[in-house]
Chain A
Amino acid sequence: MINTMEQNKIIIVISEDFNIREVAVNYAAVLAQRIDAQIIFLLLMEYKLDSKDEPVLLKQKYKDIILKRVNGIIDNNIPVQVEVMLGDRRSEFYKFMASHRLFHTVVWGGDENAPINKTGRSASHWLARIKDELPCPLVIPKKKYKLR
């Protein structure tokens, strides 16, 4: 039987480029340590048709970059996974959520000034437009968190 509690213990850290904010990584790590969860770093990137690399190769290349970045920030035994999805970010995020089960928290790891808190017609960012549909809290960490 699948343990629902275990399924819940996944924290997603979303970013749109390789510059995942350190505060977001640390926040996720502290939370993961506290609740015994695993972290999935989800990189959502556009894919250009004229790209020289096949999507599969590009995903692997991006995964390696993210892992290097993350491992440079957290070096404890928290289980970490990296997923890369290429295409329209909002659609790719829907598909990601659709193909996984429940999550504990979604952490925004991208630009701190991205207009995610705006809602309604003024919401220009894809995540702002869908944040009310998320099945778990969305956190935009701003201050520093320290690992124990």
Chain B
Amino acid sequence: MEKKINLLVVDDEAIVGKRLKPSLEKHGYEVETLRNGKSAIERIGEKEFDIIITDVRMDDIDGIQILEHVMAKSPLTKVIIITGYATVELAREALVKGAFDFIAKPFKPSDLRVIIEKAVKELKP
């Protein structure tokens, strides 16, 4: 049986995880959701995720710090940055630091799925 792709969604807005989890699970992904950067860093230390979807602005540790942490620890993990405060500079910073993709909120779930599927294709040997 093919191993399920595991995803971690990090966003301090509860509604994001609440909406994304069932919609992604419906498409066969294994999804965990967390609401702050600190617990995300802890979880990333315990488990290697295939894909991490993270918001940027969070109270404790922001999405760019999570990206940097992931790139240092498991560079094969694909990090997708989501943000409600998109700017050209932020997009540049995310991409330069190794983000797989960048998407501005609000987005359609199908747009995120296109990005996830693109990441999955790159994960497959």
Query: Which chain B residues lie closer than 8 Å to A88 at the CB level?
Result: 103-104, 107-108, 111
Query: Which chain B residues lie closer than 8 Å to A90 at the CB level?
Result: 86, 104
- Cβ-based interface call for B113 (8 A): yes
Instruction: Return the contact of B104 from the options A55, A91, A99, A135 (Cβ within 8 A).
Output: A91
Query: Which chain A residues lie closer than 8 Å to B114 at the CB level?
Result: 47, 49, 86-87
Instruction: Return the contact of A135 from the options B88, B91, B115 (Cβ within 8 A).
Output: B88
Given the interface pairs A91-B104, A91-B107, the reply to whether A133 lies near B87 with Cβ below 8 Å is yes
Interface size class, chain B? 20 to 34
- Cβ-based interface call for B102 (8 A): yes
B94-109: contact bitstring with A at CB < 8 Å (1 yes, 0 no)? 0100000111100110
CA distance A99 to B94 in the complex (A): 11
A143 CB, min distance to chain B CBs, angstroms: 30
CA distance A88 to B104 in the complex (A): 8
- Cβ-based interface call for A5 (8 A): no
A2 CB, min distance to chain B CBs, angstroms: 17
Judged by DSSP, the binding face of B is helix
A54 CB, min distance to chain B CBs, angstroms: 10
Query: Which chain A residues lie closer than 8 Å to B69 at the CB level?
Result: none
Do B107 and A99 have beta carbons less than 8 Å apart? no
- Cβ-based interface call for B117 (8 A): yes
In the complex, chain A residues 102-137 whose Cβ is within 8 Å of any chain B Cβ: 130, 133, 135
- Cβ-based interface call for A34 (8 A): no
Do B104 and A94 have beta carbons less than 8 Å apart? yes
- Cβ-based interface call for A146 (8 A): no
Interface centre among B95, B108, B111, B115 (most CB of A within 10 A): B111
A71-109: contact bitstring with B at CB < 8 Å (1 yes, 0 no)? 000000000000000111011001101110000000000
CA distance A43 to B108 in the complex (A): 19
Q: Which residues of B contact A (CB under 8 A)?
A: 86-92, 95, 101-104, 107-108, 110-111, 113-115, 117-118
Q: Which residues of A contact B (CB under 8 A)?
A: 46-49, 55, 86-88, 90-91, 94-95, 97-99, 130, 133, 135
Selected A-B contacts with CB under 8 Å, 30 pairs: A46-B111, A47-B114, A49-B110, A49-B117, A55-B118, A86-B114, A87-B103, A87-B111, A87-B114, A87-B115, A88-B103, A88-B104, A88-B111, A90-B86, A91-B86, A91-B103, A91-B104, A91-B111, A94-B87, A94-B102, A95-B91, A95-B95, A97-B91, A98-B88, A98-B89, A98-B92, A98-B102, A99-B95, A133-B87, A135-B88
